Amino acid sequence: MLREVGRGRLFMGRLERGDDLLAALTKVCESNGVKMGRIEAIGAVESATVGFYDQDLKVYEYIEIAEPMELLALLGNISTLDGETMVHAHVTLGDDAGGHCRGGHLALNTVVFACEYMIEELTGEELVRGPDEATGLSLWVD
pLDDT tens sequence across 6-40: 999 999 999 999 999 999 999 999 999 999 999 99
Contact 5, 123 (CB under 8 A): yes
Domains of the chain: 9-125 (3.30.1330.80)
Residue 65 has pLDDT above 80, yes or no: yes
Nearest to 88 by CA among 102, 101, 74: 74
Distance CA 130, CA 60 (A): 17
Q: According to the model, what pLDDT value does residue 114 have?
A: 98
Pick the closest to residue 39 from 29, 50, 49 (CA basis).
29
Percentage of the chain modeled with pLDDT above 70:
100
Q: Are 44 and 68 in contact (CB under 8 A)?
A: yes
User: What is the pTM for the complete model shown?
Assistant: 0.95
Condensed to tens digits (0 to 9), the pLDDT of residues 95-128 reads: 877 889 999 999 999 999 999 999 999 999 999 9
Q: Which residues contact 40 (CB under 8 A, 6 or more apart)?
A: 73, 74, 75, 76, 117, 118
DSSP 116: E
SS3 call for 13? strand
Angstrom distance (rounded) from CA 86 to CA 35? 8
Which phi and psi angles does 26 have, rounded to 5°? Answer: -65, -40
**Which residue(s) pair with 84 in the sheet?**
81
pLDDT of 115 reads: 98
Q: Is the pLDDT score of 133 beyond 80?
A: yes
Which pLDDT score is estimated for 44? Answer: 98
With a cut of 80, say whether residue 62 has pLDDT above it.
yes
Residue 67 · residue 48 · CB < 8 Å: no
